[in-house]
Each structure stands twice: as C-alpha cells, then as structure tokens.
Structure 1
Amino acid sequence: MGASKSTITIADVAKAAGVSTSAVSYALNGKKGVSEKTRAKVLSVAESMGWRPNSAAKSLSDSRTRSIGVVLLMHDTDEFASGNYNMECLAGLSSVLESVDYSITLRMTTGGASAACRIHRDWIESGRVDAHMVLGVEFDDPRLDLFRSHPNVPVLFLAQEQTTRGLPTLYSTDADGARTVVRHLHELGHTHIARVAGPEQYMHTLIRDSATMDECAKLGMRCDCLHGEYSREDGARLTIMFLGFADRPTAIVYDGDSQALGGLDAVQNRGLAVPDDISLISWDDSAACRSSVPPLTALHRDVRSIGKKAGRLLLAMIDGETVGAVPEDPYTLEVRGSTARPAGSAEPVGSAGSEDSAILPGA
C-alpha cells in the first residue's frame, strides 16, 4: 500500500525512480530538462507511490523563491572580512535585487570548487534558489559541467569567457588592463618590472601573465613573475623575494590590493622608499589603496557596478531571456603617489607620472 501523500517527498520519488530530485521536479511539473522516457518513468513511479498532483502543490512548486544563490570560495574563513572585491560585488548585486524584493542566499566554503559544486547541486535539486551566480572559476571547475548538464537553470558566471565557453558570463577585460599598467610603467622609464600574481588555477591569472609578458616584450622590457594567494602575507613574502634579487625590479605590480598593501609593508620595513626606490601598483583599487602612505596607484574597476550588472542579467534570465558573454566596463588606471620614474633615470618625454592623481583610460 502506498504511503499517504503527505509523507511523500520529491526525494522519495527520486530514490524510487533512480533519478535526481531535479529530474523529478522537472517531470512532475511538466518542465523541460528531462527526456520523455524519464518523465514517463517518474510519473509512473510517483503514481504507484500514491503521489497525486493538486492545484496547491502545483502552485507551490511553480512559485519563485525570490533568491539568488552565491557560493564564495575562501582560502580561509578570515578572508571574507578583508575581501574588497566580494563585498563590493555583493553590495551591488543586493542593491538591484532589493528593488524587486529579491535576496541573496550566501554560502562560503574553504573546500574549493568541488565543495561549491555540491552546494549548487543541492540548490538545483531542492529548488531553493531561482538563479545562481558563480565566482572564482578555476581550470577544470566542476561547476561548469554541472550547469551544462542543467541548461534550464539560470546561472551567471563572473569569469573569463575562455573558461566558460558558451555559458552565460560577465567577463573582465584583463588583457587590456595588463597592457595599460605596462605602458604606464614604460612611459615612466621602467625597463625591469615584476608581477606578484594570483593563484595559477584561475584563467584570469594566465591572461594577465600572458598580456603582461607580451606587452613587455613589445616594449623591450623585462618582467619577472611569482604566484601566490590573494593575501597580505603572500604579498609581503613575494615582495621580499624580489627585493633579494641581485638585479631587482624597479616596479612591482600586484594582482590584488591585499597583496599590494603587504608589499608596501615589506618595502618600508626594509628601509626603502616608495616610489623613490621602487614603484608599486595594485591591480584592484580600494579605500585601503587610497588611504595608504603613499596612496597606491591602482587599476580600477567599479566592482559595485559589476554586481549591479550581474543582478540585472540574472533577473533577465529568470524571466526567460537568453544571456551570452557580456563584458564589464573597461578598467581605468588611477595614478597616485606610489609610481614614479626609476631612481637615476632621465625624465621621460610625455611621462604619465606626476605627483598629482590622474586617471588613465584602459587600452
């Protein structure tokens, strides 16, 4: 005898039919996403268990949760408090969602992309969120295959389109940003620079590495590169390594503001002056970059506007619109007191550097 309807859940039907809970949800609610063979099997199993659709249940299953799911990959649990990009992006996203009575369902994990994938899968199967926003995409990221196998689930990746390959993506123009930084240092007269880059498992790190090296080669410059985490500690550690080179660089570019602030600490703790002895540039701009002494030259993008654009794209997908690869607004270089011509070099003609702050558009 079948169990009473009140005790039967989608998970019960999924277990009996040998399919996922999302497949059961699609089948019972007449949605795309499963084959007709699977749909017929699910309906047959559900009926044999005593499950019967009614108008109240149908209404409930079709209702929106009015929530966007976001999982942040954290190197450690203290990272969220200092993560300017994540905080600003979520603030922008929230401002758009709040205006239409949507909210963010937020999870954090130190377990990497695999752990994040399990959370997203649970949300898909439970129907807990209406759409997903994915950040911190790695090479061979399992979340890519997860959402390719659920093409009807609204999702937006904040990543490089070279990685997502056809999935809805809001991407940054990292190659242009890297070239802008190199050209600024070249105009100041630097011929040997260095990069404190982010983790190598991210496509944007590879793109920045490649564009920096390519632009340096075109301009006859030398570039050294070391990779580390987006942390103040790694910024300091890798800066100390560069300062120990017999032929040390005259400028260092950091992939994140926390790295740059750590690098500034390391330089000053060794009795060196910025920018007299060495110039520093942060890839990400932040209030900390503006308030440091000296204030850091930084490659700026309006991260809050990225969150807002992501929110508008996600709401459009929830309403059935198709989204492809969409670019963010271009970078601008905020020139402040941490960059100058190398010590002992002649004033370059048409130098972009000055003691006053300036804004240079991205390439």
Structure 2
Amino acid sequence: MGASKSTITIADVAKAAGVSTSAVSYALNGKKGVSEKTRARVLEVAESMGWRPNSAAKALSDSRSRSIGVVLLLHDTEEFASGSYAMECLAGLSRVLEEVDYSITLRMTTGGAAAACRIHRDWIESGRVDAHLVLGVEFGDPRLELFREHPDVPALFLAQQQTTKGLPTLYSQDDEGARAVVRHLHELGHTHIARVAGPEQYMHTLIRDSATMDECARLGMRCDSLHGEYMRDDGARLTSMFLNFSDHATAIVYDSDSSAIGGLHAVTAQGLVVPDDISLVSWDDSAACRSAKPPLTALHRDVRSIGDKAGRLLLRMIDGETVGAVPEDPYTLVVRDSTAAPKPTD
C-alpha cells in the first residue's frame, strides 16, 4: 500500500517519478530548471499519488529570498580583481543559479573570519538568503561553530573535511595534487625544490606542505618552504628570498597563480631564464598561467565546475536534502614550457 495522502512528500514524488527532489520542486512550483516533458511527468505522478502541498511549507517556499549568500575574505580590497579563483568560482555558481531564477548576495570584508561570521549571522537572523556558501575557512574559524548552532540553515563549505568535521563540504584533493607535482619534477631530474606556500591558517596549506614533504622524502628530494598571501607581491618577495640562498632550489612550486606570476617577474628581474635556470609550477591553471611567457606548468582544476557543483549541492540542501563531504574533481597536471630538466652542476 502506498503512502497516505497526508504523508506524501516531495521526496516520495521524486522517487516515484525517477527524478531529483529539486526537479520535483521546480515542476510543482512552476519554476525554470526542468524540461516540459519532465514537468508533465512529475505533475502526472504527483496527481496520481494524491500529493498536496503542506500549507506551512508552501508559505515558507513562497517567502524564499531566492538568493545564496557568499562572503569573500580579502586581505586587500584589490585582491578580488587580481585573484581569479573567486571570480571563476562565482561564475560557475551564477551559471547554475540563473537556471532556477536564483541570485548571489555577495559581501567582501577585510575583517577576516570574525567579520564574515557577523555577516552570516545577520543573514540567518534576517532570512535575507536561503543558503550560504562559505569560503576561506581558517583554523578556529567562528563560522564553523555558527553553522553547528544552526543545523537547519543550508550552508556549504568549500574547505577540507578535516576542518569542517561533518558539516556539508565540497573539498579539493590537495594531497594528490602536491604529490603529482613532486613526481613530475623528480622525473625531470630535480632533487631540490621550493614551495611558495599559502597562508598557514588554512588546512589546505598544511595538507599541501605535508604531502609535498612526504613525497620528497620518499623520492630522496629536498624541499624548502616559505609562506605568504595569495598575491603577486608576496610571490615576488618570497621568490627573491629563495633565489638569494647560496644553494637555491632548481624548481619552485606556487600555491596560487597570482603568486606564481609574481615569482616569474622576480626571476626575470634577476636576469634568469625560465626554465633554463629555474623551473616554475603553479596551482589552479588560470588564464594568467596560460598567457604567461613562458606559459606555466600548472595543476589544473576547473574552478567554474567547482562553483557549478557547489550551486547544485546548495539547491539540493534548500530542498531539504542532506549533503555530507563531497570531493571536487581530481587535479590534472598540465605540463607547459616553464618546467625542464635542471642545469647540470659543475
């Protein structure tokens, strides 16, 4: 015997129709996001099951803001313009939300995680957004506790699952990416490399540090590491420091494309040639990496697809689905002209 009319839910209709709960929600509410064939199928199944909208749920649905809240943590207000990760991610998110007539409510703050937490708390209390996308999660981040206190508020973290510990998370596989870079440089013959790493308050920095050091130890390689912000100036400054070491590395790996471009400028400013004198590798593989001279070898991930995936997960959460820890697509190493075998030593 099927479920009684009073207990039939959107999830029941979705199961019977063989579609997602999001598709059922869009179809029943006359929203964009499903084909007319799917809409007709859902309506037919819902009617045959005797589904009727719960009045409270309908009122809640009608009061939705149809907006996703995002707060970007900036160390400098110009960083948003120069850092492509956030823009690419938001472009992917926007592409998904536009399909269902949702928008992004965006705030930027130079006040760190504490300021971002205050913004998210205000959104929760005011109901201004239907869900929250949380980026730039730090150790001891107050936003983690905030959303633990509000488990019914849809919130997705772009972070490492070691940090979020059970909260809905879309995470990158940084350890495998770091090992792939080390193996590539080892195959070229490098035995001494360096890392211009990101800020130490982020778990993914620790994961990259640890995986890089572990893979170097396994292959009998040496690795130096300095940490800075994801900015060109820091990339140039830390690269210059490495190049001034009496026994400097023959390859440098950067945690961001912005710092890699800064590093490339520092190398050429000292009269050195990439990759003849030193090899360079970047993460994220933005347009800046591809257009650099020479084009930079980089760990590629489709950042727009991350925003796309995040958007779809958030829409599922808004519709009441439970989301756990979900991996991003794996990194792929794109080899270009900035890496080569090291110069023979005299």
TM-score category of the 2 structures, normalised to the smaller one: 0.7 to 0.9
For structure 1, list consecutive stretches of 5 or more residues without a partner in the other structure.
1-54, 346-363
**Segments ≥4 residues shifted beyond 3 Å:** 58-62
Counterpart code for 1:218: R
Q: Distance between the aligned counterparts of 1:232 and 1:267, measured in 2?
A: 13
**Does the aligned pair in 1 maintain the 2:284–2:303 contact within 8 Å?**
no
- Determine if the alignment matches structure 1 residue 249 to structure 2 residue 232: no
The equivalent of 2:114 in structure 1 is 114
Counterpart code for 1:101: D
Counterpart code for 1:217: A
Q: Distance between the aligned counterparts of 2:233 and 2:309, measured in 1?
A: 32
Q: Distance between the aligned counterparts of 1:313 and 1:300, measured in 2?
A: 22
TM-score between the two structures when normalised by the length of structure 1? 0.79
Q: 1:59: how far off?
A: 3.7
TM-score between the two structures when normalised by the length of structure 2? 0.82
Which string of whole-angstrom CA distances, capped at 9 and with x for unpartnered residues, describes residues 277-318 of structure 1? 000000121111111111000000000000000000000000
Counterpart code for 1:282: S
Q: Distance between the aligned counterparts of 1:181 and 1:127, measured in 2?
A: 44
Q: Pairwise mapping of residues 164-243 of structure 1 onto structure 2 (< 5 A)?
A: 164-243=164-243
Question: What's the secondary structure of 2:107's corresponding residue?
Answer: strand
The equivalent of 1:64 in structure 2 is 64
Q: Distance between the aligned counterparts of 2:111 and 2:119, measured in 1?
A: 11
Question: What's the secondary structure of 1:283's corresponding residue?
Answer: strand
Q: Distance between the aligned counterparts of 1:258 and 1:239, measured in 2?
A: 13
Q: 1:246: how far off?
A: 0.7
Q: Distance between the aligned counterparts of 1:287 and 1:139, measured in 2?
A: 30
Counterpart code for 1:325: A
The equivalent of 2:288 in structure 1 is 288
The equivalent of 2:321 in structure 1 is 321
Q: Distance between the aligned counterparts of 1:276 and 1:78, measured in 2?
A: 33
Q: 1:60: how far off?
A: 7.1
Cα separation, partners in 2 of 1:206 and 1:60, compared to 1, 3 Å? closer
For structure 2, list consecutive stretches of 5 or more residues without a partner in the other structure.
1-54
Q: Distance between the aligned counterparts of 1:257 and 1:131, measured in 2?
A: 29
Cα separation, partners in 2 of 1:182 and 1:61, compared to 1, 3 Å? closer
Which string of whole-angstrom CA distances, capped at 9 and with x for unpartnered residues, describes residues 203-253 of structure 1? 000000000000000000000000000000000000000001111000000
Counterpart code for 2:117: C
The equivalent of 1:157 in structure 2 is 157
Q: Which has the larger radius of gyration?
A: 1
The equivalent of 2:12 in structure 1 is none
Q: 1:344: how far off?
A: 1.3
Q: 1:63: how far off?
A: 1.4
The equivalent of 1:312 in structure 2 is 312
Question: What's the secondary structure of 2:284's corresponding residue?
Answer: coil
Q: Distance between the aligned counterparts of 2:158 and 2:264, measured in 1?
A: 29
Percentage of pairs with the same residue: 83
Question: What's the secondary structure of 2:200's corresponding residue?
Answer: coil
